[in-house]
Amino acid sequence: MRIALAWAVVAAPLVYGVAETARRASALFTG
């Protein structure tokens, strides 16, 4: 439980960052 919580805390911003960057990167194919 403690391990899952610790990973969730760091994974949440990382997923946000990757998703935002991927959204921006998609402009390479659409822009």
Place of tokens 């610790």: 6
Q: Binding to other proteins by residue 2, rule CB under 8 A?
A: yes
Least distance (Å) between residue 27 CB and other proteins: 3
Question: How far is residue 16's CA from residue 23's CA, in Å, rounded to a whole number?
Answer: 11
Contact flags string 10-29 toward other proteins, x per CB under 8 A: x--xx-xxx-xxx-xxxxxx
HEC secondary structure over 4-27: HHHHHHHHHHHHHHHHHHHHHHCH
Q: Does 1 bind other proteins (CB under 8 A)?
A: no
**Given the rule CB under 8 A, which residues bind other proteins?**
2-3, 6-7, 9-10, 13-14, 16-18, 20-22, 24-31
